[in-house]
Amino acid sequence: MKFPEHDQAQIIPALKVLGEPNRLRILCGLGLECRPVTDIINATGLGQTNVSFHLRVLRDAGFVRAERRGAFIYYCLADAELLRILHDLKLWLDVRQAIQADQVARPVKHVALAKTREET
């Protein structure tokens, strides 16, 4: 799959936004529900200033949207598909890690089998 430069120009900034651990925690913490800033602060353990900064970055990047509900502002995922994409990425990383672990363990198993055969 080739990515033209104009597509790369969209993907790279999005990955940079998602690459910040606190932003990823906020996104995963939102899930499919809209939450007020106070809930996000409590769920992440981050300070109010820090949460507000990251929410602004996420909003500017189009990952979250803000809704005013009375005196409070609630934040929601802009698109629920983002959770599926993050889940799929995690699955891919888990599979890749399992394959790498198996490839490392395989030579060790062969050595152990060879030693067992030599001893018999």
What is the DSSP annotation of 28-52? HHHTTS-EEHHHHHHHH---HHHHH
Give residue 43's pLDDT. Answer: 93
Short-list 33, 26, 96, 91, CA closest to 61: 26
Least confident of 56-60, 81-85, 99-103: 99-103
Which residue range is the domain that position 10 belongs to? Answer: 1-78
Query: Are residues 18 and 74 both part of a single domain?
Result: yes
The per-residue pLDDT for range 16-67, each reduced to its tens digit, is 999 999 999 999 989 889 999 999 999 999 999 999 999 999 999 999 999 9
Query: Are residues 17 and 60 both part of a single domain?
Result: yes
Query: Are residues 120 and 89 both part of a single domain?
Result: yes
Structure tokens at 98: 């399992």
Percent of the chain exceeding pLDDT 90 equals 65
Query: Are residues 13 and 64 both part of a single domain?
Result: yes
Query: Are residues 29 and 64 both part of a single domain?
Result: yes
Query: Are residues 44 and 56 both part of a single domain?
Result: yes
- The answer to whether residue 114 scores a pLDDT higher than 70 is no
Query: Are residues 15 and 69 both part of a single domain?
Result: yes
Number of structural domains (the chain) is 2
